[in-house]
Chain A
Amino acid sequence: MKPEPLRRLEDPSELLAQPRLAAVVEDAPGDERRLKLPLARLDAAAELLVERHGRLVGMFCVDRPEPSLLVSIAFRGELIALRAPLEGEVEYPSLARFSRAALLPERELHDRFGLVPVGHPELTPILHPDPDRITRDVIGAGTFVMPYGPVRSGIFESIQYEIETGGEDVLALHVRPFFKHRALEQRFRDLPYEHGTLLAERVAGIATVAHALAFAQAVERATGVEATRRAQRWRVVHAELERIANHLDVAMKLADDAALAVGVARFGILKEEIMRLRARLCGSRFGRGVVVPGGVSAPLLAPNDVLRALDEFERDLRRDRRLLLATTSFTDRLIGSGRLDFAAIESYAGVGPVARGSGVATDARFERPYGAYVRLGGDPVTSEEGDAQGRLLVRFGEIRQSLHLIRQAFERLDKYGPELRADLPPVDATGFGWAEAPMGEVVYWVALGGGRVRSTRIASPSLRNWPLFAASFRGDVLTDFSFIEHSFGLTPAGADR
């Protein structure tokens, strides 16, 4: 099957002008479309859009311009925001009726804001999980539940899994996130733009640049001011370096699972070289302090130094990649593990390499280009396999693509003016910002007022992909668990916020 990109929405005006929806169009910047609807019609409108292959991105309860329920649905080329004022109501028709991607967000909304989705199949508390609670889904002789987490064996982030097993095979998997819930969305209140960017960096530490980018772009779109061209190109460089580091980390963890110590060592060296390059480039191994609202901070290295380091890195990577993929004791463990098909990805609205590994060609850099990606262009890297090896091949392809993008970004740098930063005025506005993090698309919604951030909402790619992880175990056994988990490459810190 050919890789399927996210579809464009055809005839949106005709679609959304249906009288029964009673939708009112609001002002929105370029590739956004905002509609105001009555609360009772929200699910019908969302269902229409999801039927037309829109991807449910997030459901937020916002307080600007008035307390409302905000549902955002992504298409190729535009992001549609359906806003329904709450007007004191707490019940609303559940979107989980037609979209599995709404299951987790609605539970979170219920716990945080008390909004009740009518018709939700399993409305159980999600925010403060009880580590001692046992969920049994499968009845059968000799089946039992094996808890794994929240404290796990290895240097991993905390999340709890309950594995229902008959001894060797995994019959059902329950994922319990939100052990690391830091309530960061609330922390954004009344922060100046700069402090907000610093906080956004620390929502998901391994996707620092992507989150900061999404936040900064949300602020920039709300204020109507773009970052400078030179800054946009540097932003691309940092984002792609972060992507390379993440993908190398995934390869390293997979090699560790297969007990291939040489693979772990070689990819550890490669990842360390990238982290040290980033440290020389900006003073922080994770790119902290790079993205500022309106631009970037001054780089500490010249582009030629970066390119030289990357050339040497690419030579090493090519040889190590070839060796790794030729080691059958390693690839045997990946082939066939955690198979996800196209339909599953679509029904859960999956994003990132997980989706691209199953043939869904969705990538925020290329379907709703932002910053310098508008001029750089490109196509998402996909694979047809759908298993852990497919996802790993997608990641290796993306590393190559990232190196190419960095070289492209540096190419015409001298054409642009030297300004690295634009000033952002204080406004009263709301805006969306998005960026393609290494795990998938991250979307921020911000409401600004008086030069400060009033309210922020985050749609994290890891939270959207965790249900896919639970659904990806079909006929796999316990020893495949860590392979499948690491091939997803998700971060609980980003999901739990």
Chain B
Amino acid sequence: MLEWLARGLHKGIVTTGYPRRPEPAPAGFRGRVAVIEAGAADPSLEDVCPTGAITVRDGDVALDRGRCILCGLCVAADPARFTLVSDFETAAGSRWALVVGEPPVATLDAVRRTLGDRSRTLRRSIHIRHVDAGSDGADEWEISALTNPYYDMQRLGLYFTPAPRHADVLLVTGGVTESMRAPLARTYEVMPSPKAVVAAGTDACSGGFALPAGEVAGGVDQVLPVHVYVPGSPPSPIALLHGLLLAAGIVTNEIANERQAQP
């Protein structure tokens, strides 16, 4: 056991300071696609995207990040219009908020500070139950990476739990295949309120690449009410942390609201 201890001390502290300190993504990391120039677009741009995330309406381009799998084909086809941003914080609180629209940089800093405050003052520890409703397997790796020493989500009061009865947040990956509909719904039913649902990954946000084949429901929001969407194929661990902390805010706010509403 002493040798393990020596190894650990030798390595030092590798844990990220997120959300108190920003965590920069490596250069070239595919975090999200940003629209530089939205107007004067050719309708043929829609065919560039394999999942149909790009829509052109009256010459205006809209990119649905909930369908984007970060393949970069649109950037290669039209670098003046699209660019890949190395960014981790990509979650949003509603489906339509994933359609770009550039969030202004100032807002991001404010959001990051609020998240830092919230994680410091989290009086409740949030327990998270994960359900795989038909993902490709990579999302689960990123979620379980949250417990490794680099991200260590337990320092923020987030825990994974196998029992839905002890869970506050339901973290769903995958676009809900036919056979997983009923088990997913049962998991949600058995969780006590207040609860929040986080859809992690492009498959969970919109059904992803597999959608038109007919086996996949088209996103978790076709089965359950979703409170936070974390797009990405797969979403990186910091993006997941960002989304979970948003969800934690929902949960703690709901408890405060319940207490206020009581006679």
Contact = CB atoms under 8 A, between A and B. Distances in A.
Interface string A234-278: 000000000000000100000000000011111011011001100
A144 B215 CA distance: 33
A198 B135 contact: no
A492 B7 CA distance: 35
Given A182-B213, A493-B135, A155 B140 contact: yes
A319 B150 contact: no
Contact of A266 (B7, B50, B178): B7
Given A271-B148, A288-B233, A319-B7, A158 B131 contact: yes
Interface string B5-43: 101100100100000000000111110000000000000
Contacts of A131: 179, 182-183
B234 interface: yes
A389 to B, nearest CB: 20
A491 interface: yes
Contact of B71 (A155, A286, A289): A289
A320 B133 CA distance: 35
Contacts of A194: 50, 73
Contact of B150 (A153, A269, A289): A269
B236 to A, nearest CB: 7
A180 B130 contact: no
Given A182-B177, A276-B26, A280-B27, A289 B141 contact: no
Interface in B177-194: 177-180, 182-184, 186-187
Interface stretch (B56-64, B105-113, B204-212, B246-254): B204-212
Contacts of B73: 194, 198
Contacts of A286: 138, 141, 234
Contact of B144 (A155, A187, A204): A155
A150 B142 CA distance: 20
A203 B72 contact: no
Given A195-B50, A199-B209, A284-B70, A182 B134 contact: yes
A60 B208 CA distance: 26
A300 B28 contact: yes
Contacts of B92: none
B11 A269 contact: yes
B179 A491 contact: no
B141 A249 contact: yes
Nearest to A268: B148
Interface in A172-195: 178-184, 186-187, 191, 194-195
Q: Which of A153, A182, A187 has the most CB of B within 10 A?
A: A182
B84 interface: yes
B199 interface: no
A127 to B, nearest CB: 9
B114 to A, nearest CB: 27
A156 interface: yes
Given A202-B209, A283-B29, A289-B71, A128 B149 contact: no
B14 A151 contact: no
A399 interface: no
Given A158-B132, A205-B138, A493-B135, A265 B149 contact: yes
Nearest to A299: B28
B213 to A, nearest CB: 4
Nearest to B236: A285
Contacts of B14: 269
Contacts of B143: 155
Contacts of B180: 150, 158, 179-180
B149 A182 contact: no
B147 interface: yes
A191 B69 contact: no
A413 to B, nearest CB: 20
Nearest to A208: B138
B50 A323 contact: no
Contacts of B233: 202, 288
B145 interface: yes
A208 to B, nearest CB: 7
B230 interface: no
B213 A204 contact: no
A357 to B, nearest CB: 22
B174 interface: yes
Contacts of B225: none
B168 interface: no
A157 B7 contact: no
Contacts of B71: 198, 288-289
B130 A155 contact: yes
A109 B8 CA distance: 51
B101 interface: no
Interface of A: 128-129, 131, 150-158, 178-184, 186-187, 191, 194-195, 198-199, 202-206, 208, 249, 262-266, 268-269, 271-272, 275-276, 279-280, 282-286, 288-289, 300, 316, 319-320, 323, 491-494
9 contacts: A131-B179, A151-B186, A151-B187, A158-B133, A198-B209, A208-B138, A283-B30, A319-B7, A323-B4
Given A155-B160, A157-B135, A265-B148, 9 more contacts: A156-B132, A181-B215, A186-B213, A187-B209, A202-B209, A268-B147, A272-B148, A272-B150, A319-B7
Closest 5 CB pairs of A and B: A205-B138, A268-B148, A153-B162, A205-B136, A262-B4
